[in-house]
Amino acid sequence: MTSPDARTDFETRIYQRLTDTVGADEDTRLPAPTDLIAEPAMGHVRLSWEPVAGAAGYVIERSEAGSSPIIVDHGGSDVPAVPQTVFADTGLRDVTTYTYRVGAVIGADYPVWTWSQPVSVDTWHGRTDGSVETPVVAVSVDASRVVGDLRRVWELIGSERLSQLLLVGDQKWIADEFATALRRVHEDLGVQRVRAHAILHDDNDVVRVADDGTVTYNFDRVDAIYDQLLDIGIRPVVELSFMPAALARDPRETVFTYGGIISPPADWSAWRALIAALAEHLIDRYGIDEVARWSFEVWNEPNLVVFWTGTIDEYLRLYEESARALKSVDARLAVGGPSTAAAEWVERLAAYAEHTAVPLDFVTSHTYGNLPLDVRPALARHGFEGTPVWWTEWGVGSTHFGPIHDTAFGAPFVLSGYAVAQHHLDALAYWVASDHFEELGRPDRLFHNGFGLLTVGNLAKPRYWAAHLAAHQGDAVLAHTVAGDGAAVLVQCSATRHDDGTIDVLTWNGTINAAVMSGDPRLDRNVRLEVGGLDPAIAYEATLSRIDTNHSNIAAACPTDIIWPDEQLWSRLRAADTLASEPILPTGPAPSTPPAPTSLPTPAGPPTSATASPAGDTTLRFDFALPMPGVARIRLRPARSAPRTPQQRPSNQPD
């Protein structure tokens, strides 16, 4: 997470660097993308181009007559580059000519050297009578054809500092709710690991210095934190931060309301000794077989001046000292970094590790308001092919108390991130689990647009329900296609099958452009879903679950003028804290011709079963509305399958 000051520092550097090659290393040059196509569509322009070998992502430039070109920044993302080669540019004016260029970059902190040929497009003109027909997107699933295994990249999550678990007195209720939140994401979302700041903060009393200068270590509070965490069922990604005052070169340099010290150490050997002592203690307490399943990440966002007062060279030394300290205790301990904001310094750390033979067991970075870039080419250039890549912070927006976190906009955003991560990440940690968050001050009201998937009081936000639907998919990925206006750039799909034959088809309609966080009617779509390859001898019970402004959106159940609910309102909110689900009837077998655009009603109907045709037709069709932002899941459960409780549900069985 970045503070407003950190964001200003970032923007003044990176937006200039994207187009400025003066002094840049020629080795970072990539050729221009080819075959750029710009297609007008309802509410957006669909862009596509050919991939460039070695690219981490692509920067999009847009201009219109009489105006200077701008870099498309997606409403304020900390990384303008996008990882995919298809993209929906949204928030545009109708009946307007735009010109686009696209450039490839080797990383978020490197410039575009050569741009594609410009392509101009006239945006959607609408109908002459002014009416709007909602386009239909056709989704086709072959339930008989498995094409891969689902990667559960959401099983790492971010958290406020874990010392909240130890709060007492009049803050004991925070500790209890925080622990409940962690337990809930473990049991419901399948979270196995958590990453948090400040385990070495002086609040935890780790480093003690006697009057004669003797340094001793006290790990009692660290033990109490990790004991609770392991009891919940979650293992830590141990972020090695912040600097204990006794070791800091300048202990006056701090961040956050709790005063995390962001200074390099005054004595590098003292830092190395602390990290070795921590590792030895953890192994003594929990055993090497356990601690070897943890991970150690060096610092937090050292590329931002608000988190690290040293230079990049000093960070690289901090990484090396930490890595060598850990490996001196046991080679099985996993160490990684650079834990940077906005996907920076990955190439720099990989090059340094290659040159110095420093271990690099996993690579980490952060992105807000965009999808994670593909840093695998950067790692391959330095001999680290196959090294796990984790985004240890990621979210729909970087600004605490910003306007986006409590809205439905984050629900399709979450699923788009998980979909991209299937291809080039090993973990994508949403930041954070709970609104019990103190970095910039405690919440001043219930719906304050905090980072949490869960509110104070542990009510689920739309983003939580999106993660829930992702986590409760089957493990077998089914073949599927998406076609129509907005296909693959607005409307996306994940289709899976569980071991008991249950089929989940998860569709979502979203954009990463925060400028349209409140929605845009031109981006609403209707979905015609066809599920084929079904066994005609099996009856299926079909349900529809939805997340949008009017469904699975707990903030909508609370009057906007409420600061903190009274007991009566709390009771109503807890009753409303559910995933909106209802039975849905199939609209018939698949048609022989694609459907024309039409306005479809929101589906409803009495509880019933959807049964495959006795004539041998193995395709069922469902029609439903999918607003932007919006998420819908059609679940087909064999009628012979009895529901399981969450406690009984293995990871590959439906909830």
pLDDT tens digits along 267-278: 999 999 999 999
- The answer to whether 41 and 126 are in contact (CB under 8 A) is no
The structure tokens listed for 62 are 């847009």
Active site residues: 301, 393
Enumerate the β-bridge partners of residue 367. Answer: 394
Q: Between these two residues, 377 and 8, which has the higher pLDDT value?
A: 377
Q: How confident is the model at residue 217 (pLDDT cuts 50, 70, 90)?
A: very high
Lowest mean pLDDT, pick from 194-203, 359-368, 531-540: 531-540
Residue 504: which region, alpha, beta or left (left: phi > 0; alpha: psi -120 to 50)? beta
Q: What is the mean pLDDT of residues 535-543?
A: 93
- The answer to whether 143 and 538 are in contact (CB under 8 A) is no
d(CA 242, CA 344) in angstroms, rounded, equals 20
pLDDT of residue 533: 95
Q: What is the mean pLDDT of residues 63-86?
A: 94
pLDDT of residue 604: 35
Q: Between these two residues, 191 and 594, which has the higher pLDDT value?
A: 191
172-189 pLDDT tens trace: 999 999 999 999 999 999
Residue 262 has pLDDT above 50, yes or no: yes
Residue 651 has pLDDT above 70, yes or no: no
| Residue with tokens 């601690």, as numbered in its chain | 291
Q: What is the mean pLDDT of residues 542-559?
A: 97
Question: For residue 317, which amino acid is it?
Answer: R
Question: 650: buried, middle or exposed (CB in 10 Å: 19+, 13-18, 0-12)?
Answer: exposed
Query: What one-character-per-residue DSSP string does 43-64 give?
Result: TEEEEE----TT-SEEEEEEEE
- The answer to whether 55 and 381 are in contact (CB under 8 A) is no
pLDDT of residue 646: 42
Average pLDDT across the chain, whole number: 91
pLDDT of residue 587: 84
Q: What is the mean pLDDT of residues 599-606?
A: 35
> How many CA atoms lie less than 13 Å away from 146 in the CB half-sphere?
12
Q: What is the mean pLDDT of residues 478-490?
A: 98
Please report, for residues 21, 104, 471, the alpha-carbon distance to residue 31 in angstroms, rounded to integers and kept in the order given.
14, 7, 39
Q: What is the mean pLDDT of residues 562-573?
A: 97
d(CA 505, CA 494) in angstroms, rounded, equals 6
Question: For residue 618, which amino acid is it?
Answer: T
- Rounded (5°) CA angle 492-495-501: 165
Q: How confident is the model at residue 597 (pLDDT cuts 50, 70, 90)?
A: very low
Share of the chain above pLDDT 70, in %: 89
For 184, phi and psi rounded to 5 degrees?
Answer: -65, -45
Query: What one-character-per-residue DSSP string does 365-387 give?
Result: EEEESSPPP--HHHHHTTT-TT-
> How many CA atoms lie less than 13 Å away from 132 in the CB half-sphere?
14
Q: How many CB atoms lie within 10 A of CB 146?
A: 15
pLDDT of residue 258: 95
93-124 pLDDT tens trace: 999 999 999 999 999 999 999 999 999 999 98
d(CA 641, CA 653) in angstroms, rounded, equals 11
pLDDT of residue 8: 55
pLDDT of residue 279: 98
Question: 648: buried, middle or exposed (CB in 10 Å: 19+, 13-18, 0-12)?
Answer: exposed
Q: How confident is the model at residue 650 (pLDDT cuts 50, 70, 90)?
A: very low
Q: What is the mean pLDDT of residues 432-439?
A: 95
Residue 601 has pLDDT above 80, yes or no: no
- The answer to whether 504 and 628 are in contact (CB under 8 A) is no
The structure tokens listed for 215 are 């340094």
The alpha carbon dihedral of 470, 430, 236, 422 has a sign of: positive
pLDDT of residue 357: 98
* 229-240: burial string, b at 16+ Cβ within 10 Å, e else: beebebbbbbbb
Q: Is the pTM of this model over 0.85?
A: yes
Q: What is the mean pLDDT of residues 305-332?
A: 97
d(CA 412, CA 631) in angstroms, rounded, equals 6
Question: For residue 255, which amino acid is it?
Answer: V
pLDDT of residue 402: 84
CA Rg value for the chain: 25
